[in-house]
Structure 1
């Protein structure tokens, strides 16, 4: 079995693939979002719907960058707390 450092080095640790929200509202919100997208797909022209999807993709990318930075900040904070234990 690889150590955590070996797994990290070889790219075997990918926390973003392991995240499954435990909040009970997550599935409900996801379902409502899918339903809303279907409604907009019916209401908008193909070009307009593609523009909407492009905008939502940009928002998703922005949220992903934010989540990455939040993860890094939390990890750094945890490391600083552990370091303080040894001082």
Structure 2
């Protein structure tokens, strides 16, 4: 089994692309949003729908930036936790 470091180096780890929420309502919500968007496409003018698409694209970019920040904070927290646990173990051995 490859190490995590090797996988990171080789670009084999893509959490943002492989993690799917396990919440029971996730798929249902995704389907509802898709249905609403399809409904809007039928009633909006082409120009209005293009504006809606632009807003959705901008929102996706914002969510992506937020997810990157949350991911980075999670990594920092995990490392701080590991350091603290290691130091506790180190102090207990003395």
- TM-score bucket of the superposed structures, by smaller chain: over 0.9
**Alpha-carbon offset, residue 4 of structure 1:** 1.3
Q: Which has the higher Rg, Structure 1 or Structure 2?
A: 2
**Alpha-carbon offset, residue 20 of structure 1:** 1.2
Q: Pairwise CA RMSD of aligned residues?
A: 0.9
1:29 paired residue number:
29
Q: 3-state DSSP class of the match of 1:86?
A: helix
Where does structure 2 lack aligned partners over 5 or more consecutive residues?
88-94
- Structure 1 stretches of 4+ with a deviation exceeding 6 A read none
Alignment of 1:2-81 (within 5 A): 2-81=2-81
Where does structure 1 lack aligned partners over 5 or more consecutive residues?
none
User: TM-score, length-normalised on structure 1?
Assistant: 0.94
Aligned length: 87
User: TM-score, length-normalised on structure 2?
Assistant: 0.87
C-alpha distance in structure 2 between counterparts of 1:85 and 1:56, whole Å: 43
